Structure 1
Amino acid sequence: MPDLTKGDLAPDFTLPLDDGQIFHLAAARGRPVVLYFYPEDDSGGCTDENREFSDRAAAFAELGARLVGISPDTVQSHVKFRKKYNLVVPLASDPEHLAVEPYGLWKLKKLYGREFMGLIRTSFIIGADGRVARIIRATRILGHAQKVLEALEAHVAAAPAK
């Protein structure tokens, strides 16, 4: 599947959340949605990233956005991870890659000369119309959440008034 680009219709999906709810992307239409995809619970970088998004969750909400973290981990793993670090962002479980693959994020990675398939850390801003408004690759983990928040602020400012 080719990579998504700005303006594409965001692939719809339904995933379970760690709070027992179900997240269905199409049901969130009418407001922006921020999806941040991360590789795994309780690793150093993913913990830092989730803490940063949690620290800024209120700012995302003030802009009218629904914020959801997604990884291939199980719901049970998410529950423990969120509780351990007092995270406030709901975490969606995607072990079957129902969102990860349509968003083009399951790719060949290289680390210390070893090649393996893995998730490419990326965030998407989905506009109220259900289209991809921004794609933000996490080139650095620290500061990524702030970068996404600033992109959302710019998107909201540029959106036509209702």
Structure 2
Amino acid sequence: MYLQGLDDASWCRCFPATLKGIAQHWFGNLPARCINNFRMLAYWFTSNISMNIPAKKTSLDLGAIQQGDEEGLMSYVRRFNLMRIQIQGLSDDVAYIDFFKGLKDGSTFKLDLVRKRVSTLHEALMKAEAYIQAMELCAVKLPTDYKRSDKR
């Protein structure tokens, strides 16, 4: 649609066609004849609607994801990945650094990443998956081990 050079009235008539969702609902609820020109429409729109648009996620948001003291690795990885997929153009290096920094200090998994010299997010996530599976397997077998030690 080519709109350059249109007068205010035409801009105001074309504007609703660009809206959807909550913005369209907001526009539909405006009182009749309350808009005198496009500048006024633009002002009302930005002051009412643009504040409701969620901010785009950045690597700063990803860096804020920290594994809680009582949080398991699976939960942390899930939260980290949910944030990571919302960030456009995120480099693997930055993602890995944020992932590593967010892990609990002193955790055996974090130490394992250092010991094995893991340097990419893909590698770290693969190690995390293997670590989670191993921990789940050990947790399932743990009660059996207790029963054996009780019989001694």
TM over 0.5: no
Sort the TM-score into its range (normalised by shorter chain): under 0.3
**1 or 2, which has the higher strand percentage?**
1
Which structure features the higher share of helix residues?
A: 2
**TM-score, normalising length: structure 2:** 0.25
TM-score, length of structure 1 as denominator length = 0.24
